[in-house]
Structure 1
Amino acid sequence: MEVATPEEWKVVTEWGNGEHWNIGFRDPECFFAIDPGGFFLGKAGGRPVSAVSLVNYDDSYAVWGHYLVAPGERGKGYGIGVCKVASRHSGNRTTAGDAMPEQVQNYSKDGSQPIHKTVHWYGDLARTGSQHEQVVPITAAHLDAVADYDAESFPARRGPFLEKWLFAEGHRALVYLSDDGVAGYGVIRPAPVGHRIGPLTADTPEIAHALLESLTAELPAGETMSVFAPDLQPATAGLLTDLGLAEHFHVVRMWRGPRPDLRTERVYAISSLEVG
């Protein structure tokens, strides 16, 4: 088992997309900005056979993701092996990750507890959106304010990640500016199949709606869309159904360690399952 480089990690992205994860084109380079030492490959005979990421956002919070075994190599213990080694990387940090419902019991063996569902909303855009006057493109001048706003609903301040994510090639990042400053923001990005939205964070459902409309204002009706949304905000389902999306499947967010007091009602979509 070894720490992977971005170049070596390309095969893991291929595995994930082979499982229909639809990883955004620029996602991996943004993931590595969080914690370059948090990407692990298991090898057999010099060949990559398994992978997991465990990225440390700060001294208190880490996220699991990318738990994959190469096709044809499953059932040989390679996945468990890479996880055992990678788990040392997070130390005593609080850790979060996502489990398929049938795996919740297995994921609970390390003390992790289920805290909410995250639903994959998927479908073809029902109509082209429209630009809202208070929604503007995020620039470098907005970065600190957006990172501060984001940290009120995410368990860590993730400035290095956002600096990459907001301005990556093909990503369209928008902020809703009220008289008091940032009241919401969102990102849309291209992926092998259509586009994905995330994160989407807003003070109110009305602001979330304005952001969704603006994010989809440059897309044609019929464009395939994908959103991963925690079931923490009751208005989310109506907003995404209005776009033309439907529930596709769900995973269960698992959590080990103390839970911080966060503005989770603001979260309408997460960035990605791989890094939260």
Structure 2
Amino acid sequence: MSDKLQIRNMTRAELDSLVGWAAKEGWNPGLHDAELFWATDPDAYIAAELDGELVGGGAITSYGGDFGFMGFFIIRPEFRGHGLGDELWRKRREGLLARLKPGAGIGMDGVFDMQPYYAKGGFVFSHRDLRFEADIAAGFTAPPGGEQLVPLSEVAFADLEAYDRQCFPASRSAFLEGWIAQPDAQALGCLRGGKLAGYAVVRRCGQGCKVGPLFADDAKAAEALYQKLAEFAAGGPLFLDVPENNGAAMAMARRHGMAEVFGCARMYLGSKPAVAEDKVFGVTTFELG
């Protein structure tokens, strides 16, 4: 069956299909994820076609050739168990390596059960990224936190890029430009002495809202940002993907009574990136890193 599989670049319309499949799988994508993801790297989306029918796909996002991320890996349920996913995954890994500069690393968030499979492909476990959920009461108002929070549109983009680069393995200007300005979302910065001490984005999804990223100098800044974003999400569930290797982030999730509902293993092919892990209170997305 896999001999008939064609691996090729996706069309923009096919990415909409992939996002729809993700919703059915319970991944709860954001309302505008497809257009934002496509704008970040249109060459990242790889289709698996069988006898003229789209049966699977995934992303191989390159950030300027300096870092890559594999995500959005889906095979339609009725086509699983025939080796198609294995072929698609291997071709995606090879394709992403070809898009990167020599020595550049690749990251991924894979479901726990697939860790041994990804390890055979050269990926090494780093830590767990755990999805937490909180039910935010209607009418919730963030308590005074003593931090200066401003819309990210009021922060110099160069300052945002510089802060983001501390927490993410490569520059991602195109992604950030769209991400912080997307509809049905709120993007905030935390200022101390006129300097950025953290930033976060919350976006509406098929179910409730997701925070991502949530980057902050310390727990106090992260708390202020989280509380204000929770106000945006009032009346529904709020999700936050927390890296387990940040103890302060885990403590914040527990302090707010958030329930663990899902998780992935963060793994890397090549050297583990040097980022400020203590500032990452919430990852951006499981699909693009």
| Contact 1:56–1:90 (CA under 8 A) maintained in structure 2 | yes
| CA shift for structure 1 position 5 | 2.2
Instruction: Give the match for residue 173 of structure 1.
Output: 187
Structure 2 counterpart of 1:43: 49
Mapped contact 1:131–1:214 kept (Cα < 8 A): no
Report the TM-score when normalising by structure 1: 0.94
What do residues 97-126 of structure 1 show as CA deviations (whole Å, max 9, x unaligned)? 012222111101121100000001013125
2:215 and 2:222 in contact (8 A); partners too:
yes
Paired letter, 1:181: K
Deviations 1:74-133 (A, max 9, x none): 112221222222223222431110122221111011211000000010131254424655
Q: 5+ residue gaps in structure 1?
A: none
Q: 1:82 aligns with which of 85, 88, 108?
A: 88
Letter in 1 for 2:153: T
In structure 2, runs of 5+ residues without a counterpart are: 1-6
**Equivalent in the alignment of 1:21:** 27
Residue number among 186, 199, 212 corresponding to 1:198 in the alignment: 212
Point out the structure with the larger helix share: 2
Q: Distance in 1 between matches of 2:233 and 2:94?
A: 43
Counterpart-to-counterpart distance in 2, 1:219 and 1:249: 20
Partner of 2:4: none
Query: Taking structure 1 as reference, are residues 3 and 61 closer, same or farther at Cα in structure 2, changes over 3 Å only?
Result: same
Name the counterpart of 1:104.
115
Deviations 1:192-231 (A, max 9, x none): 00010010000010000011111122343x4111111111
Verify the 8 A CA contact 2:105 2:273 in the aligned structure 1.
no
Q: Percent identity?
A: 28
Q: For residues 165 and 76 of structure 1, what CA distance do their matches in structure 2 show?
A: 37
Which residue in 1 is equivalent to 2:164? Answer: 150
Q: Does 1:123 align with 2:137?
A: no
* Matched-pair contact (CA < 8 Å) for 2:209–2:233: no
Q: Which amino acid aligns with 1:102?
A: D
SS at match of 1:151: helix
How far off its partner does 1:140 sit? 6.3
Code of the aligned partner of 1:258: S
CA contact (8 A) 2:44 2:62 kept: yes
Contact 1:232 1:267 in 2 (8 A): no
Deviations 1:46-79 (A, max 9, x none): 1100111110012221000011011211112221
Query: Which of 253, 257, 266 is residue 253 of structure 1 equivalent to?
Result: 266
Which of the numbers 260, 273, 276 marks the counterpart of 2:286?
Answer: 273
Amino acid at match of 1:101: F
**Match among 68, 89, 110 for residue 74 of structure 2:** 68
- State the alpha-carbon separation in 2 of the partners of residues 272 and 260 from structure 1: 17
Normalised to the residue count of structure 2, the TM-score between the two structures is 0.90
Cross-structure match for 1:94: 105
Partner of residue 231, structure 2: 217
Contact 1:177 1:184 (8 Å CA) reproduced: yes
- Of the candidates 17, 38, 51, which is equivalent to residue 32 of structure 1? 38
Equivalent residues of 1:129, 1:219 under 8 A apart: no
Structure 2 counterpart of 1:30, which letter? L
Question: Helix, strand or coil: the match of 2:238?
Answer: strand
**Cα distance in structure 2, aligned partners of 1:250 and 1:25:** 21
1:255 is displaced (CA, Å) by 0.5
Q: Which 4+ runs in 1 deviate beyond 6 A?
A: none
Residue identity in the other structure for 1:190: R
SS at match of 2:228: helix
Among 229, 232, 239, the residue aligned to 2:245: 232
